[in-house]
Structure 1
Amino acid sequence: MTARTRLLNLLFIPLTVLSLNACSESAQANSANADALQQAINSEARSERNKARDEFRHPAETLAFFGVEPTSTVVEISPGGGWYTEILAPYLKDKGLLYAAHFPANSSSEYYQRSRQAFIDRVANDAAFNAVVVTEFAPMGDSVIAPPASADMVLTFRNLHNWYMGGGEEAVKNAFTQFYNALKPGGVLGVVDHRLPESRSDEDMASSGYMKESFAVAMAEAAGFELVESSAINSNPKDTADHPRGVWTLPPTLRLGDEEREKYTAIGESDRFTLKFIKPKS
């Protein structure tokens, strides 16, 4: 063995040790994050009614797929009553930051006003929510959902169809532009919505509550995002996306009431796409 070979071997050993240590530390961090996320999912801050829907919404797998960490700055779009907020708020409370981009305060909709006020009341009175920062979002508005280029992640769950039905392609484009502006370079946009089969007419997106995955990708890319990965986490092959009252025929809404209730309960909640985008660093 030459002197040069012995020297290279001596240099290789500490580099290997450093690499193994780094892998070990990363694995430990991932395990700790998973444990903290599960604790948030099991938290008493969550209602039993909401927990019962975990089998359809897969919060642990979904949030892990998007890469949410306890130190993340996250914007949750249109949190409504706070189904995902009940998980994100305690998970991010100590080391991260959660912006809840709720309905605008000046909305003319009584429903929006009631929903927003109920959420604000919970932020004021629920210890698990008291670190949440409430901002505003409207797909055609110009509200600041978070300071520009400040967020690690923007997450939207089952909202895309509402923007499209209310304002068409323009509303969706404007929404994605707002998300792009709020994210840091390298930040992640996570999108979940009800999936319309690609073979169906685009016109079916106007009233069914289902959206084509290809449409969501096209709108995000038009705003400057790059698709990183799609996941089948929230897929449901039992859902044909062809129901008398659209997606609301299925649980939890069950808009047909007792009519064929057993049939639609057996299908479960909708088939959904789960998409992860990134805002390019340059």
Structure 2
Amino acid sequence: MMGPPPPPPSGPVAIALPANIAAALSDPSRPAADMIRDKDRHPGEVLAFAGVKSGAKVADLIPGGGYFTRIFSKAVGPKGKVYAYVPDELTKLAKREPAVNAIARDPVYSNVQVILNTLPNFGAPEKLDLVFTAQNYHDMHNKFMGPANLGVVNRQVFRALKPGGVYLVLDHVADAGSGLRDTETLHRIDPAVVKAEVMAAGFVFEGETRVLRNPADPRAANVYDAGIRGKTEQFVYKFRKPAR
């Protein structure tokens, strides 16, 4: 008599990464500190889910220190382009130039260009294959960012993309039904709010990867708290601009 089937794996299942993404992750130009973070951030799986290909035109919306910017640069290669889009609100708040400027000045990342503008404005010099934002969508709802009008931001993203282009949003999970309650205090957002706002701009929801899901996260702590930082439950939503 056969016993019960084995339980499904609790962690993310390893996948074979496209060659361009695997090469980008192992590129020796990446800081060692970034590579250490890969085990928690799963950038290979995230970029594979987004469909990043050589020659792609990508916007990294609110790139922070450039963790993903560097990976995008190598993944799209010399025929591709990466626009690191930095809202002026953040530059004024930090009272220093964006950290990503140093990446754009580095000849190793010659396909990176920094764009400074004020939200909700968003755009690029050419049509894009992908607009990507990681752990920052919630911040655009916060006071220090205006707050930005996300209805306008998402419509601008829609216009900036090629037909069939992808908008990928990655952020920290807040309790279901909490709406925008935790964006200022815990730096989390209800995924349902993001889905509704983005789809209202004309996007089609294409699905999610659960590679950053963590059911053990109680969702009650600020994402910067030492006990949960780097281990928060995060959603990765993929939206697509209709091809016609």
Whichever residue aligns with residue 139 of structure 1, its letter is L
Q: Distance in 2 between matches of 1:170 and 1:43?
A: 35
Q: Distance in 2 between matches of 1:196 and 1:84?
A: 23
Q: Distance in 1 between matches of 2:183 and 2:176?
A: 11
Among candidates 56, 60, 81, match of residue 65 of structure 2 = 81
Q: Which residue of 2 aligns with 1:225?
A: 203
- Structure 1 stretches of 4+ with a deviation exceeding 6 A read none
Percent of matched pairs sharing the same residue: 28
Whichever residue aligns with residue 140 of structure 2, its letter is W
1:43-58 pair list within 5 angstroms: 43-58=27-42
CA spacing shift, 1:123–1:212, aligned 2, 3 Å: same
Whichever residue aligns with residue 136 of structure 1, its letter is L
The Cα of 1:109 is off from its aligned counterpart by 1.4
Q: State yes or no: 1:123 paired with 2:123.
A: no
Secondary structure in 1 aligned to 2:111?
A: coil
Q: Distance in 2 between matches of 1:280 and 1:168?
A: 30
Whichever residue aligns with residue 121 of structure 1, its letter is A
Q: Distance in 2 between matches of 1:224 and 1:137?
A: 23
Cα RMSD of the aligned pairs, angstroms, is 2.3
Secondary structure in 2 aligned to 1:101?
A: strand
Q: Which residue of 2 aligns with 1:213?
A: 191
What are structure 2's unaligned runs of at least 5 residues? 1-15
Secondary structure in 2 aligned to 1:114?
A: coil
Secondary structure in 1 aligned to 2:151?
A: helix
- Is the contact made by 2:179 and 2:190 (CA closer than 8 Å) also made in structure 1? no
1:164-179 pair list within 5 angstroms: 164-166=141-143, 171-179=149-157
Secondary structure in 2 aligned to 1:192?
A: strand
- Is the contact made by 1:100 and 1:134 (CA closer than 8 Å) also made in structure 2? yes
- Is the contact made by 2:166 and 2:241 (CA closer than 8 Å) also made in structure 1? yes
1:146-157 pair list within 5 angstroms: 146-147=124-125, 150-157=127-134
CA spacing shift, 1:155–1:247, aligned 2, 3 Å: same
Whichever residue aligns with residue 120 of structure 1, its letter is N
Q: Which residue of 2 aligns with 1:158?
A: 135
Under a length normalisation based on structure 1, what TM-score does the superposition of the two structures give?
A: 0.74
Q: Which residue of 2 aligns with 1:114?
A: 96
What are structure 1's unaligned runs of at least 5 residues? 1-30, 255-263
- Is the contact made by 2:20 and 2:74 (CA closer than 8 Å) also made in structure 1? no
Q: Distance in 2 between matches of 1:277 and 1:43?
A: 29
Among candidates 52, 55, 59, match of residue 71 of structure 1 = 55
Q: Which has the higher helix share?
A: 1
Which one has a bigger Cα radius of gyration? 1
Q: Distance in 1 between matches of 2:179 and 2:107?
A: 47
- Is the contact made by 1:81 and 1:115 (CA closer than 8 Å) also made in structure 2? no
Q: State yes or no: 1:279 paired with 2:241.
A: yes
Whichever residue aligns with residue 112 of structure 2, its letter is V
CA spacing shift, 1:42–1:208, aligned 2, 3 Å: same
The Cα of 1:237 is off from its aligned counterpart by 1.8
Q: Which residue of 1 aligns with 2:182?
A: 204
Number of aligned residues: 228
Among candidates 195, 218, 233, match of residue 240 of structure 1 = 218
Q: State yes or no: 1:132 paired with 2:116.
A: no
Q: Distance in 1 between matches of 2:90 and 2:195?
A: 29
Q: Distance in 2 between matches of 1:146 and 1:98?
A: 10
Q: Which residue of 1 aligns with 2:161?
A: 183
CA spacing shift, 1:157–1:201, aligned 2, 3 Å: closer
